[in-house]
Amino acid sequence: MNYSFKYLWNFMFVIVGPVWAVLAWMIWTSGQLTTPQHQSLYLGIVIPGFVLIYLSGFIVQKRHAKKLRNQAS
C-alpha cells in the first residue's frame, strides 16, 4: 500500500461525505419527516452517525496496529 490508512480514510470521506449529504437532504425534503420531533430525531441520528463512522475507522486502525505489535513480539 502506497498511502497511509489515515490518508485513505480521509480521502474516502471526502468522496462519501457529499454523497451522504445529498442522501440526507433527499430524505429531509421528501416530506417523510412531518413533525419537528421527527426532524430532530433524524438529525440526531444522521449527524452523530456520520461522525461515529468516521471516528470508528481510527479505532480500527489503532486496534490493528496493536495486534501487529503484539504478534511481532
Is the pLDDT at 1 greater than 70, yes or no?
A: no
Bigger pLDDT: 72 vs 17:
17
DSSP per position, the chain: --S-HHHHHHHHHHHHHHHHHHHHHHHHHTT---SHHHHHHHHHHHHHHHHHHHHHHHHHHHHHHHHHHHHH-
pLDDT value of residue 73: 75
pLDDT in tens, 20-63: 999 999 999 999 999 999 999 999 999 999 999 999 999 999 99
